[in-house]
Amino acid sequence: MKLPQDSVRKQLFEICQSPGVQYLLLNKNETLLEVNAGYADISGEILVGSETTFHCFSSTKTFTAIAILQLMKQGKLSLEDCASDMLPEFRFSKPFTIRHLLCHQSGLGNPMPVRWIHLASEDYSFDENKFLTEVIYKNAQLNFTPGKKFSYSNLGFLVLGKLIEKFSGMHYIEFIRKNIIEKVREADKVSFTFPDAALHATGYHANSFFNRVLFSLLMDKNKFIYKVNRDWLAFRKFI
């Protein structure tokens, strides 16, 4: 099923308020609908296409959860294990389980992740282990008794990443690549190679007074953001 590009672009812009959108509608056996609409780069007038790539962001939580279940299947941990006891160096204020982390019921906070980004050009000097250790340690005071309510937490999945490394003896990225990505590649004969970085979409946010003030409070606006036109602010490439 194919829809007119101009029509889809207009409809999705009105719904998503985004310069560009890409999505697939699938069932078990086939692709039912593929939509590539709008712009991957406004300044260069580059349209979103089937090879355009976007940041994964919280989609990586799915990989983290799968990795935990794989380690559970190997008998290295269980969902009811006390995760806080497994990482005593962080001195969490209350005990919580691996299940609590997966279900966003650990009581851990959710500090603004936009504060965690760094420019792609700075990645060579980025100390990942130091960053993770510091951000978890600074937020080790729980906001509520684990299991009592749901509260979305990016931090909880950073803790799960630490557990994956501890019980697998591998770096998180190495474990994910070997135990998930490579297995899917072998089973389904699919390619996980990425096209030229030039095809990666630029991130945008509406150029409103509220957003300009918000970004000024959360990050170095001059470092990470630039104005594209009266409607949009663009993010410089970051990790």
Per residue in 182-220, pLDDT (tens digit) is 888 877 666 666 667 788 999 998 899 998 898 888 888
The band of 163, judged by pLDDT with boundaries at 50, 70 and 90, is very high
Quote the pLDDT of residue 3: 46
pTM across the whole model? 0.85
Structure tokens at 69: 């279940």
The region of weakest confidence among 21-25, 86-90, 103-107, 200-204 is 21-25
Residues forming CATH 3.40.710.10 domain(s) in the chain: 57-188
What top-level class would CATH report for the domain 57-188?
A: alpha beta
User: How confident is the model at residue 31, as a pLDDT?
Assistant: 81
Bigger pLDDT: 8 vs 117:
117
Distance CA 156, CA 196 (A): 33
The average pLDDT across 71-87 equals 97
- Between 48 and 102, where is the model more confident? 102
Residue 5 pLDDT > 60, yes or no? no
The whole-chain average pLDDT of the chain stands at 88
Identify the band that residue 2 occupies on the pLDDT scale cut at 50, 70 and 90.
Answer: very low
What is the structure's pLDDT at 155? 96
Which CA distances in Å does 209 have to 134, 162, 172, 213, 215? 32, 39, 39, 6, 10
What average pLDDT does range 155-183 have in this prediction? 95
